[in-house]
Amino acid sequence: MTKQNPLFSQQVREFFSSDLFALMLDVSAASNSPGHESYCTITLAKKAMIHRTHARKIVRAEIQRRQSSLYSAPIGGAA
């Protein structure tokens, strides 16, 4: 097994923290669409220069995290 390059993690982190990608992930989590998930995966793989399989794992984990926070968030309203 090879040791990961620290630059790899930095590239993923930088792109992952961008507002546009965060919005893409929010839409994908809300819609639960395989197409949106695939688009996020391909975009992350291309921009962060990582393999699609690894990008898919990252995107799926993040979408699941966002979906769980979507459904566990209290519904707003005036009290």
Tens-place pLDDT, residues 8-66: 578 788 888 899 999 999 999 999 999 999 999 999 999 988 999 999 999 999 999 99
Query: Is residue 2 situated within a structural domain?
Result: no
Side-chain-facing half-sphere of 50: CA atoms under 13 Å? 26
Q: Which two tokens stand for residue 18?
A: 């961008």
In a domain, residue 73? The reply is no
Task: Give this prediction's pTM.
Answer: 0.75
Residue 31 included in any domain: yes
Domain count, the chain: 1
Residue with tokens 């966002």: 66
Three-state SS for 35?
Answer: helix
Domain hosting 42: range is: 12-68
The span from the first CA to the last CA of the chain, in angstroms, equals 56
Is 59 inside a domain boundary? Answer: yes
d(CA 75, CA 59): 26
